[in-house]
Amino acid sequence: MISLIGFSGLFFSFLLSILIFVIYFFQNKKYSEKILYYAIYSSFVCILISFFSLMFAYINSDFTNYNVFQNSHSSKPLLYKIAGTWSNHEGSMLLWLVIMIFYNFLFSFNKTLDNNLKKLTIFFQTLLYLCFSSYVLFASNPFLVNSIEMNEGLGLNPILQDPALAIHPPMLYFGYVGFSLILSLAIAGLILDKINTKWILVTKNWTLFCWSMLTGGIALGSYWAYYELGWGGWWFWDPVENVSLMPWIAGLALVHSLMLTQKEQLLKRWIVFLSILCFSLSIFGTFLVRSGILTSVHSFASDSSRGIFILILFLVITSFSFIVFIFKSTDSNKNLNLLFLNKTSTLVINNILMIVACITILLGTIYPIIIEVISNNRISVGAPYYNSTVLPILLPGFLLMSVAPALSWQTNKLPKLKSYLFSFILMSIITLLVSYFTFFNTWGFIGIFLSLSIIGASLISFYNNYNNYGLKKFIIYNNALIAHIGVGIMIMGITCSSVFQSESNLSFSINETKEVNGYIYKLEETKIYNKKNYQELVGVFKIYKNNKIITKVKPSKRYYNVSKMITTEVGIYRHWFQDFYIILGSENDNKWSVKIYQNPLVNFIWFGVVLMIISGLIGIRKK
Amino acid sequence: MNKLILSLPIILIFIISIFLLIFLLQNKDPNVPPSALLDKKIPPVNLVDLFNDNKLINLSNLKNKEILINFFASWCAPCKVEHPLLFQIKKQNPNLYILGINHKDKKHDAINYLNQDGNPYDFVGVDKKGLIGLEFGVFGLPETFLINKSGKIIYKYLGPLTKKVITNEIQHLL
């Protein structure tokens, strides 16, 4: 029954979108505008009904629904029953539709753009929605009914049963799918030839919002990988991470070039290109993940017919967009005011670097596929490739970032040059001294230097820009600096947690103590707990420093009865400046093998990301 | 010239898509690692009959027959889903010897399961401790192997069989 309601909701929203599509061509008729908007609202309501009925089926453990049967179990906690709605292929595609129409719904309240442009944007957004909803209807229906009676479901993969992962997909989708609106805006703007200041302002706001959400989504995923996978790191250059990083970088480039255009009315063609690129990369990523072409932690049930469907969608949408781009895009005849060191030139360099980085990642991600098609050999491209190609590309960009916001648009001069120079010299001396007294490492040196100079220069710019217009205005106008400080803090975290990480493999018997880097670790006892859907074996560790107890850490192993899977739960003690990260291994002759990591400054990464998101959201207020 | 540069992204997209399409059509699934046993002889294990403890067969003695080995258990829901399809295979290929291996299951449950849903197997062997599954490198249930007349493993499928898999892959090999 509930499946029927859900399916009807999906189907009606599809029909209503066709109505929006048709009514666009009868614009001059009386009432047509009203009908258009009401169709958007009701289509949104229909898809919400559909989505919530799937959620209801999950909460109720309604195993007559095939999707629920495949991905849920009655003993799951409520939160994961709710999150179960989108932690599988079909459900997540339904969420995709909800968000896609949600953006259309929100955009229909826009009052800045002129009416024609607004309607054409809605038209294209609806067209995109029709493409994806036909995919859901015909190839990935979440409302299929089970052919046999089932009393119990197959259960959700235990490593996905985690609070961070419950909100990771919706947040990520707000970014990923939101780029569809940017694409619609770009194509509508191109066709009506209305890429003007208003268009740029609107696009900037939506891009900032989507980009901030995408940042949050990626960070949540990476945070989850850090404490759930138990590999000691937080970024693994997994194909799925890469495909989310590519639209993120493109979005970042877009945000920056939109700023350039706002001030000087330039680079129109480039921003339209980036607007199209963002959503193209989103669909491309979706294709790579959903077709089962890549092996990764996100292996959805693979089905090549689905893959072909998404590939066709990708081809149709991107080639249509780029064809419009080829024939309609015009560049303004003003030349760029490129000087040796002014805001325009640094922004252009930063855009080039980002796109090169994006292409490098793309190449690494699809290279194995191309090689396998040509030579039938299976190869893998891993972290060493990305670390040695992407990082060096980004370095000059980071260096420029420290001064770019302070540069002028028109001249080569940097106001108050001396203070910046002084801070650079000071930072390099500090970094040199620090690395002399600890131990020298090239990457460590570069990373700490970059991070300190970005933070230092941004703080100086903050100080220089200070005026008496009031705090709120001051923050809105300097929000780029906040983001850059966030990046600086993040680079610090990334550098320290990767370069200065310590890893030790030890074995403990009960009550045995061992010393790692001046800290004493003691395995006090092991306990077994019976929880609702798993059994847990916990090792209780105490950490001492100078004979004083600092904390207790409880790494564990869980056995999930339903899926018969064992997962390793990392025990982490988060200290301000370092994480103590303990993984419980196997037991042999009453000795437990234990892996201990000390990860310095990991918290800085999350803190930096939060600053970036906040700054992105503040930027929406900037006119 | 200008138009050519502008067309670069679309050209690139087409080239990439062609590679992806070829890859998709080859129907490779990276999640299923190629079995180390493919093209090897079947492991020479002894199987005890589920219905009769005194009846034994040795796999390496089953020569000159095409065999389909299907690992299953009564507690495995996907096995229940694929179960009717085994009858279909049997109907289409009367000469195929279908061997069921009951993996980590209770004898009583297994017999009940086959009584309820029917028994498509020519022989059902017991693998109570999962040791035979270990010999075959079984990842999860159900798992299906195809053995040719000279006793070599020529095909392996992980997960419940579907009509598509049977018509597109298994029937081609028989």
Predicted model pTM:
0.81
- Torsion-angle region of A518 (φ positive above 0: left; ψ -120 to 50: alpha; else: beta): left
pLDDT at residue B45, rounded to an integer: 80
Facing B31 at nearest CB: one of A302, A322, A370 = A302
Residue B27 counted as domain residue? no
Q: Which residues of B touch A294 (CB under 8 A)?
A: 30
CA end-to-end span of chain B, whole Å? 56
Testing the interface with A: which of B11, B23, B32 to mutate, by most A Cβ within 10 A? B23
Q: pLDDT-based confidence at A205, cuts 50/70/90?
A: very high
**A contact residues 297-316, partner B, Cβ 8 Å cutoff:** 299, 302, 304, 307-308, 311, 314-315
Asked if the bond preceding B142 is cis, omega within 30° of 0, the reply is yes
- pLDDT, average across residues A21-27: 88
Amino acid at B114: L
Residue B169 located in a structural domain: yes
pLDDT surpasses 50 at A351: yes
Tell me if A407 sits within 8 A of A481, measured CB to CB: no
Residue of B nearest to A331 (CA): B2
Give the minimum alpha-carbon distance from A294 to chain B in angstroms, rounded to a whole number.
7
Report CB contact under 8 Å: A311, B27. Answer: no
Q: Residue range A475-487: average pLDDT?
A: 89
Give, for A550, the enclosing helix (H) or strand (E): strand A548-553
Specify the amino acid at residue A591: K
B21 to A308: CB separation less than 8 angstroms, yes or no: yes
Q: What φ, ψ does residue B124 adopt, rounded to 5°?
A: -115, 115
Domain regions of chain A by residue span: 1-156, 162-397, 415-500, 502-603
Nearest to B78 by CA among B129, B143, B126: B143
Does pLDDT of A410 surpass 50? Answer: yes
Angle formed by the axes of helices A163-176 and A239-264, to 10°? 40
Number of domains forming the structure of chain B: 1
Cα gap A504→B166, rounded to integer Å: 50
Q: Which residues contact A42 (CB under 8 A, 6 or more apart)?
A: A12, A16
Are B23 and A314 an interchain contact pair (Cβ–Cβ within 8 Å)? no
With 0-12 / 13-18 / 19 or more C-beta atoms within 10 angstroms meaning exposed / middle / buried, residue A337 is middle
Between chains, do B28 and A329 touch, taking CB under 8 Å as contact? Answer: no
Minimal-distance CA residue of chain A relative to B2 = A326
Instruction: Evaluate whether residue B6 is within a structural domain.
Output: no
More confident residue, A305 or A514: A514
- Give phi and psi for A579, each to the nearest 5: -100, 135
Q: Pick the residue from chain A with its C-alpha nearest to B26.
A: A373
Cα separation, A288 vs A365, in Å, equals 9
Nearest to B23 among A152, A293, A302 (CB): A293
B60-79 residues touching A, CB cutoff 8 A: 77-78
Residue B20 to residue B54: CA distance in whole angstroms: 54
Size of interface A-B (CB pairs under 8 A): 70
Residue A319 has pLDDT above 90, yes or no: yes
What pLDDT tens digit does each residue of chain B (174 aa) get? 577 888 888 899 999 999 888 888 876 554 454 556 677 777 778 888 888 888 888 877 777 788 898 988 887 777 887 888 888 888 888 888 888 998 888 888 888 888 888 888 888 888 887 788 877 877 667 888 888 888 888 888 877 788 777 887 788 777
Task: Give yes or no for A1 touching B (CB within 8 A).
Answer: no
Percent of chain A scoring above 90 in pLDDT? 38
What is the pLDDT, as a whole number, of residue A568? 81
CATH number of the domain enclosing B117: 3.40.30.10
| Greater pLDDT, A342 or A55 | A55
Chain B, nearest residue to A292 by Cα: B29
Choice between A311 and A30, residue whose per-residue pLDDT is larger: A311
Task: Give the whole-angstrom CA distance, residue B144 versus residue B147.
Answer: 10
CA atoms within 13 A on the CB side of B51: 11
Residue A154 touches partner B, C-beta closer than 8 Å: yes
Pairing of strands A571-574, A578-588: antiparallel
**Confidence at residue A342, expressed as pLDDT on a 0 to 100 scale:** 79
In angstroms, rounded to a whole number, what is the distance separating the alpha carbons of residues B141 and A367? Answer: 33
Mutation test of the interface with chain B: which of A68, A150, A238, A302, choosing the one with the most B Cβ atoms within 10 A?
A: A302
* A294 in contact with chain B, both atoms CB, cutoff 8 A: yes
pLDDT of residue A457: 87
Of residues A192 and A372, more confidently modeled: A192
Residue A487 has pLDDT above 70, yes or no: yes
pLDDT above 90 for A186: yes
**Where does the pLDDT of residue A331 fall: very low under 50, low under 70, confident under 90, or very high at 90 and above?**
low
CA distance B74 to B80: 8
Q: Is residue B165 part of a domain?
A: yes
Identify the domain containing residue B85 by its residue range.
Answer: 36-173
Paired tokens of A441: 């490492």
Residue B12 within any structural domain of the chain:
no
User: Backbone dihedral region of A105: left (phi > 0), alpha (psi from -120 to 50 degrees) or beta?
Assistant: alpha
pLDDT at B152: 81
Q: What is the rounded average pLDDT of the residues A539-557?
A: 89
Does B80 touch chain A if contact means CB atoms closer than 8 Å?
yes
pLDDT digits (tens, 9 = 90+) for B43-83: 778 888 888 888 888 877 777 788 898 988 887 777 887 88
The answer to whether B125 and B133 are in contact (CB under 8 A) is: no
CATH for the stretch A502-603? 2.60.98
* A366 interface with B at CB cutoff 8 Å: yes
Query: To the nearest whole angstrom, how far is the Cα of B83 from the nearest Cα of chain A?
Result: 12
- The CA distance from A291 to the nearest CA of chain B, in Å, is 8
pLDDT at A217 over 70: yes
Interchain contact, B17 vs A314, CB within 8 Å: yes
pLDDT tens digits, residue range A219-240? 998 998 888 777 777 888 888 8
Among A90-99, A165-174, A605-614, the minimum mean pLDDT is found in A165-174
* B109 within some domain: yes
Contact flag A373-B16 (C-beta cutoff 8 Å): no
A145 has pLDDT over 70: yes
pLDDT winner (highest mean) among A271-275, A289-293, A365-369, A471-475:
A271-275
Verify whether the Cβ–Cβ distance A323 to B3 is below 8 Å. Answer: no
The two tokens of residue A418 are 């001396």
The closest CB to that of A294, out of B16, B25, B30, belongs to B30
Contacts with A, B 8-47, CB within 8 Å: 9-10, 13-14, 16-17, 19-31
- For A181, the token pair is 């609106």
Position A489 confidence tier, pLDDT thresholds 50, 70, 90: very high
CA atoms within 13 A on the CB side of A192: 20
**More reliable by pLDDT, A66 or A406:** A66
Burial class (CB in 10 A: 0-12, 13-18, 19+), A327: exposed
Using the beta-carbon criterion (under 8 Å), do A273 and B24 form an inter-chain contact?
Answer: no
Mean model confidence pLDDT for chain A: 87
Contacts of A280 in chain B (CB under 8 A): 13
Burial of A12 (C-beta count, 10 Å sphere; 0-12/13-18/19+):
middle
Q: Give the burial string for A63-98 (b: 16+ CB within 10 Å, else e).
A: bbbbbbbbbbbebbeeebbbbbbbbbbbbbbbbbbb
What confidence score (pLDDT) does residue A71 get? Answer: 85
At B31 the pLDDT is: 46
